[in-house]
Structure 1
Amino acid sequence: MMGSIEGLERFDSPGKGRGLRVTRPFKVGELLFSSPAYSFVLSLSERGCYCEFCFTRKEGLARCGKCKKAFYCGVKCQKGDWAMHKLECSAMTAFGENWCPSEMSRLVARILAKKKMQKERCASERILLIEEIQSHVEDVDNEKREMTESDIAGLHRFFSKHLELPDHKDLLTLFSQVACNGFTIEDDELSHMGTAIYPDVALINHSCLPSVIVTYKGTSAEVRAVKNMNPGDEVLISYIDLLYPTDDRNNRLREFYYFTCQCQECKTKSSDKAKLKVRKQSDPIEQEVISNMVRYARKTIREFRALKRIKNIL
Structure 2
Amino acid sequence: MSATDADAVHAILPGGSVELRVADPADGGRRLFVRAPIKAGDEILSLNPYAAVLNDASRTSRCDHTFAKPSDNGGSLLRCARSKVARYVSRDAQVAAWKRGYKEECASLVNCAPRVPPATVRLAARVLWRRAREAAAADGSNDDDDDEIIEDGVAAAAALGLGRGYDAVDALGDHWERLPDSRKASLAHAAMLATAFHAGTLGPGSTTPTDPDPDPNPNPNAADPRHVARLLAKISCNAHTVCDEELNAIGVGVYPAAAMVNHGDAPTAAQSFKGKKIVLRATRDLKRGDEVTMAYVELLATRQERRAALHAGYNFDLDGTEMATYCPHASPDRVEACEGMPYMRNTRRTRLPGGAVLVDHGEGSDSPPWRTGHADAYLCAVEASRKSGGGILHGGVEVVTRPIGDGDDGDGDDGDEKSAPNRDDDAVDYSGGLGGLRGSGGFGRTFAEEAERAFKTVKARSSMAEMEIAGGRLRDKSRFEVHVWGTLGGADREHTAMRVAECASLLAVAERHLAAGGTKNGVESALKPLARMSDLMNGDDASCALGPIHLLRVRVLDAMQRAAVTAGDFESARDAAYAVLPAYRLSYPPCHPPLGLHLALIAKIEAHLVDLNAAVQFAREAISCLNVSHGRNSDVVRMMETLLGESEAELRYNEYNRSGGNEDAETGEGYLEAYE
Does the 8 Å contact 1:211/1:235 carry over to 2? yes
Does the 8 Å contact 1:30/1:308 carry over to 2? no
The higher radius of gyration belongs to: 2
CA positional deviation for 1:92: 2.5
Please say which of residues 269-278 and 69-78 is displaced more in the overlay: 269-278
Please say which of residues 71-80 and 280-289 is displaced more in the overlay: 280-289
Structure 2 residue aligned with 1:84, among 101, 104, 129? 101
CA positional deviation for 1:155: 1.3
Look up the SS of the partner of 2:285 in the other structure: coil
Look up the SS of the partner of 1:9 in the other structure: strand
Does the 8 Å contact 1:27/1:227 carry over to 2? yes
Tell me if 1:114 matches 2:130: yes
The C-alpha deviation readout for 1:33-59, integer Å capped at 9, x for no partner, is 201111001123212210111111115
For residue 245 of structure 1, what is the amino acid of its counterpart? T
The C-alpha deviation readout for 1:284-305, integer Å capped at 9, x for no partner, is 3222236987543775546544
Query: 1:156 aligns to what?
Result: 195
Query: 1:23 aligns to what?
Result: 35
Look up the SS of the partner of 1:229 in the other structure: coil
Does the 8 Å contact 1:102/1:151 carry over to 2? no
Tell me if 1:307 matches 2:316: no
Query: 1:242 aligns to what?
Result: 299
Q: How does 1:55-204 map to 2 (within 5 A)?
A: 55-58=67-70, 59-82=75-98, 83-97=100-114, 99-118=115-134, 123-125=152-154, 126=156, 127=160, 128=162, 129-161=168-200, 164-204=221-261
Tell me if 1:4 matches 2:13: yes
Instruction: Output the CA distance in 1 between the equivalents of 2:256 and 2:288.
Output: 23
| Sequence identity percentage | 23
Instruction: Output the CA distance in 2 between the equivalents of 1:135 and 1:141.
Output: 13
Aligned residues: 306
Which stretches in structure 1 are left out of the alignment for 5+ residues? 310-314
Structure 2 residue aligned with 1:254, among 301, 311, 318? 311
Structure 1 vs Structure 2 CA RMSD: 2.8
Q: How does 1:272-291 map to 2 (within 5 A)?
A: 272-277=376-381, 278-281=550-553, 284-285=556-557, 286-287=560-561, 288=573, 289=576
Structure 2 residue aligned with 1:33, among 45, 50, 63? 45
Look up the SS of the partner of 1:11 in the other structure: strand
Instruction: Output the CA distance in 1 between the equivalents of 2:376 and 2:122.
Output: 39
Look up the SS of the partner of 1:307 in the other structure: coil
Instruction: Output the CA distance in 1 between the equivalents of 2:94 and 2:183.
Output: 35
The C-alpha deviation readout for 1:215-266, integer Å capped at 9, x for no partner, is 1001100010011111011111111111111111111111111111259xx9
Q: 1:33 to 1:132 in 2, by over 3 A?
A: same
Does the 8 Å contact 1:188/1:301 carry over to 2? no
Higher relative contact order (Cα pairs below 8 Å, separated by 6+ residues): 1
CA positional deviation for 1:273: 1.3
Tell me if 1:51 matches 2:155: no
Please say which of residues 37-46 and 179-188 is displaced more in the overlay: 37-46
Does the 8 Å contact 2:199/2:222 carry over to 1? yes
Does the 8 Å contact 1:41/1:52 carry over to 2? yes
Q: 1:258 to 1:25 in 2, by over 3 A?
A: same
CA positional deviation for 1:16: 0.8
Look up the SS of the partner of 1:159 in the other structure: helix
Look up the SS of the partner of 1:185 in the other structure: strand
For residue 217 of structure 1, what is the amino acid of its counterpart? K
Does the 8 Å contact 1:5/1:33 carry over to 2? no
TM-score (ref. length: structure 2):
0.42
Which stretches in structure 2 are left out of the alignment for 5+ residues? 1-9, 136-148, 163-167, 202-218, 321-369, 382-549, 562-572, 582-593, 602-621, 635-676
CA positional deviation for 1:153: 2.1
Where is the strand percentage greater, Structure 1 or Structure 2?
1
The C-alpha deviation readout for 1:174-212, integer Å capped at 9, x for no partner, is 111100001110112211111100001001111111100
Instruction: Output the CA distance in 1 between the equivalents of 2:198 and 2:86.
Output: 17
Please say which of residues 80-89 and 46-55 is displaced more in the overlay: 80-89
